Amino acid sequence: MIAKVEPLTPARALRGPFDYRLGSRLEEVGVGALLMVPFGNRRLLGVVVDLAESSEVPEERLVEPLAALDGHVPPELVELGLWVANQYCSTPARGLSLVLAPGTGTGARRRVGPRRSLVAELTHDGRAALEPEHHGPLGVRQRAALHALAGGPMPASALGRTAGCDHGTLRRLERRGLVSIGQVVRRGQVPHVDGVGARSAGEDPTLAQRRALGAVVERMDAGGGRPLLLHGVTGSGKTEVYLRAAAAALERGRSAIVLVPEIALTPQTAGRFVERFGDAVAVMHSRLSGRERYDEWTRMRAGEARLCVGPRSAIFAPVPDLG
């Protein structure tokens, strides 16, 4: 299989896609995958924008990507990024940068990736080593580590605090087959949203709100189409309609994006939605740190948060099946 890759470079003269051969170790790569690829005497990040069974490049000149990285983008967002680039006379790299995980685009100053930690778990032989009849040599720290792991897998750092064992102790236990050690991705904390402005009263909607919501849900169930404009003076209850429309989307197994006009209004709006939907809400704006934005992007990509609140850039949130 051939991967057609757009390199993520700010150079306007360098446009792809360029063909790379996918070997057996990368056979699961699909559209939206983030790859490290050789390019002349350089190594570049690139996004897979298409797959093909053959290439116009001679077989002997095709090379394989060096590695597949974290940050796979949904294919529909790849299509959107390329459309934006074409529509506004920009480069594919700049268009794709809009939809990539924070910290991976052409303007990223520092690459951000998933935080991983080592987790240890008892093996069958490790449990047997804790039985009274087992007479194999175990040090004090090794035995303490096995006892700590008897209750279930634990991060290596936590074992250091509870059992006093260091990394070397764990590796020795691993070599003896008493524990297994693997890497897991640590989820970041959900950014704290302070309550700003009026709180939801939880009252029944007015007749006007019910009519507006009915029109929104009817359009949603019909598969979308033309935009709807909700018109009302300040304090007339428009936000309650947005809240209930988002709830209708979630009830149908779909997702929602709520755009605010400016960053300053994000806490006020996000507070209302977090109050109603809890951790199902992700917040995206430039005042978050790079790490916070990456963690929120990852929560949405994994389906843990299906409702995004933010300014204009939140339109590229990786939530599936927008309602």
> Is 103 a member of any domain?
no
- How far is the C-alpha of 24 from the C-alpha of 205, rounded, in Å? 57
159 and 225 inside one domain: no
Q: How far apart are the first and last CA of the chain?
A: 34
Residue 84: the pLDDT is: 96
Contact between residue 66 and residue 34 where contact means Cβ atoms under 8 Å apart: no
Q: What six digits make up the tokens of 298? A: 């990852």
DSSP, collapsed to helix, strand or coil, labels residue 156 as helix
Q: Where are the alpha helices (DSSP H) in 227-305?
A: 238-251, 266-277, 290-301
> Is 200 a member of any domain?
no
- Long-range pairs for 52-56: beta carbons < 8 A, 24 or more residues apart: 52/1, 52/2, 52/4, 52/19, 53/1, 53/2, 54/2, 55/2, 55/19, 55/21, 56/19
225 and 163 inside one domain: no
Residue 57 clears pLDDT 80, i.e. is over it: yes
22 and 76 inside one domain: yes
What's the domain range around 242? 207-316
pLDDT category of residue 153 using cuts at 50, 70 and 90: confident
Residue 199: the pLDDT is: 56
pLDDT category of residue 11 using cuts at 50, 70 and 90: confident
Residue 4 clears pLDDT 60, i.e. is over it: yes
> Is 231 a member of any domain?
yes
Tell me which amino acid residue 172 is: R
- How far is the C-alpha of 232 from the C-alpha of 213, rounded, in Å? 13
Task: Count structural domains, the chain.
Answer: 3
For the chain, give the percent of residues with pLDDT over 70: 89
Residue 87 clears pLDDT 80, i.e. is over it: yes
242 and 165 inside one domain: no
Contact between residue 157 and residue 117 where contact means Cβ atoms under 8 Å apart: yes
For the chain, give the percent of residues with pLDDT over 90: 39
- pTM given for the model: 0.73
213 and 180 inside one domain: no
Chain centre distance of CA 96: 16
DSSP β-ladder status, 2-7 and 18-21: antiparallel
Q: What is the mean pLDDT of residues 186-213?
A: 71
309 and 227 inside one domain: yes
Beta bridge partners of 4: 19, 50
Contact between residue 264 and residue 196 where contact means Cβ atoms under 8 Å apart: no
Residue 95 clears pLDDT 90, i.e. is over it: yes
What CATH number does residue 255 fall under? 3.40.50.300
Residue with tokens 């268009």: 95
What CATH number does residue 152 fall under? 1.10.10
